[in-house]
Structures are given as C-alpha cells and as structure tokens.
Structure 1
Amino acid sequence: MFDPKSDYALNKKDPDAIVYIDAAGTLTRLTLADFSSPEEFKRWKAWSDESYHQIENAGIALSKRTLSLHGLPEKATTVQSPEDTLVEALEQREREEMRRLLMEGLDNCLTSAQRRRLWLYFVDGLTVRQIAEAEGVQHPSIVECLAAAKKKLLEYLKRMV
C-alpha cells in the first residue's frame, strides 16, 4: 500500500529523482540535473533507496512488536499494583468474615421477630410503617423491636470482633 507521507515510497515511486519531505513538510526532488554526473546521481539514488528502506523496515519491525493503546478503554490499559491486589484480597476476606458474623449473629442472638423485622427494614428496604401494616401491629412496637435488635447485634459483634 502506498503511503504518501513515506519518504521511502515517494523515493521508490520516482526513479528519476531523489525525493524527500523536509521538516517543514515540503516535498523536494533532486534530479540528474542537480548532480555533476549521472554516476554521482545513481550512487546517491541507490544510497537514498537503501537508507529509506532500512528506516522503513525499522518502523515496520517496531510496529509489529508493539500494541497501540489508542482507542482502548482506560480500564484495559491500567495494571493493578501488587499492593492493591493484596489490599483487595484482605478486604474481601474481611467482608466475608463480617458477613459470616452477621449471619451468625442474626441466627444466635435475635428472636425470630427481631430477625425478620431487621431483615425487612435493612435488606428489603421497607419502612417501619410498612412493616407495622404488614404484621398488623402498631408503629412504636416495630421501632422498639428494631432498636432492641440493633443493640443486641452490636453487642454480639463487639464480643466477636
């Protein structure tokens, strides 16, 4: 495929000139008329072809060994540090242990009514009024039950942790 910005391709495409693009982006052609003899032109043309070819191959070899990160999501290009991995693993173990303690505490230190109401309130997201209506009891009794359940559970967790 022809790359119009490639010195190598431009130079190869024009056998009657040494073609290059300068730093300002200007295309320059050196022809036989710019040299003192046809032999000198041929020598410099052969040298420029070989030089451009080596430069082109070096760029191709580099691009074959590299992966562009352009266009990849940021998450795909970030690498988690070993410290972050360790902290994450420790936090996960701590969460699992706390979950186990909470479930154990719900089962061991609360009455079935306290456990059920605490679950409805914190896990299912029901309001105190909704729980009271569903169970056919007064609002204050649900408030007292939840307060007692929280107190018991906190005391249990303090003993266990």
Structure 2
Amino acid sequence: MTYIQIPIQHLSSLSDGDMVSVTGIYTRDLDGSVLTSGDRRLRLLGEPFSYIPRQHAKVEVWGRLLQGKVQRLQIHDARPAGASAPTPQVSETGKAGDEVTLTAHIRCIGGDQIAMTPDGRTYLVIGEELDQRHYTLVGRILGLNPPMLEIVQAVPFTQVAPVTRDW
C-alpha cells in the first residue's frame, strides 16, 4: 500500500478511497480532530495508531481519503512533521485458515475484542482475553466476513518509553 503525499489544498483532485499522506496543524475540538493548512481544513476520522499529537502540533497524517460534501481522512497513523518514525505499515493479509502475524491495538467494543492494525484493518479477536493496548499478534484467520482472528500468541509492547522525573 502506497500513500500519495499531497498538500491538503489538492485533495479534491484525488478519488474517494485513495491512500494519502498530508501535513498540517493538528487541532481537537468538540466534534473531533482537524488538520489545517492555510485556509483549508480536513476533518480526521478515528485516532492515529501509535502517536497522538498535541494540540496545534505540526504533523504528518496518513490514511484513506473520503470524498463527499465534506472531505475527511480516515486516519491510519501520524507522526511529527519531519520525523522519520513511525512509518506507514501494511498488515499481512490472508485467507481463512492462514496464520498471520500482525501489529494491532486491541479495543473492547461492547462484549467483543477488536484488533485494529496501523493500516485500518480490523479483526474480531477469538480465543484469548486481552487488555486494551498494542500487541504483536500471531493468529489464524477463521473467516473474512466478518474478519475473525483466533489468537495463537499475543505479545504486548509499549510504544513510548515511560516518563522519568528527576526530583
């Protein structure tokens, strides 16, 4: 999966569903988050996978462009503008019965556990109760409609080093 790097001002030249990378000022308001560049605003849907920007930070975000009355970007991930990490990731795919290794964030929605990958794929998690954090998952795809993943192994990891204080 390749992300097209493009200024916010030129997004209207692209098709609905294109994968894009854009840079701007990140802000949060009551309706969610927005990326601004000059007088253009791009509504962001979801949250970045591994980096939550500070208010008014200059960032690069990437995801799926949704064209409509209002342009929106379904976020896959973000990083500070000019930074080299994190980088856009593509998740392993497969068919029913295949074993895959994924980086995913586990979220509990209702009574279900959902694995969300950096490129926006989601799987219903079966077989092990996990807490809500990032994991490297090894699992077997049980089905694709809906996508179900039976966990073989789950290894949690931390994205950010703990804060230390010198008091």
Question: Scaled by the length of structure 2, what TM-score is found?
Answer: 0.20
Question: Scaled by the length of structure 1, what TM-score is found?
Answer: 0.21
Answer 1 or 2: which has greater strand percent. Answer: 2
Answer 1 or 2: which has greater helix percent. Answer: 1
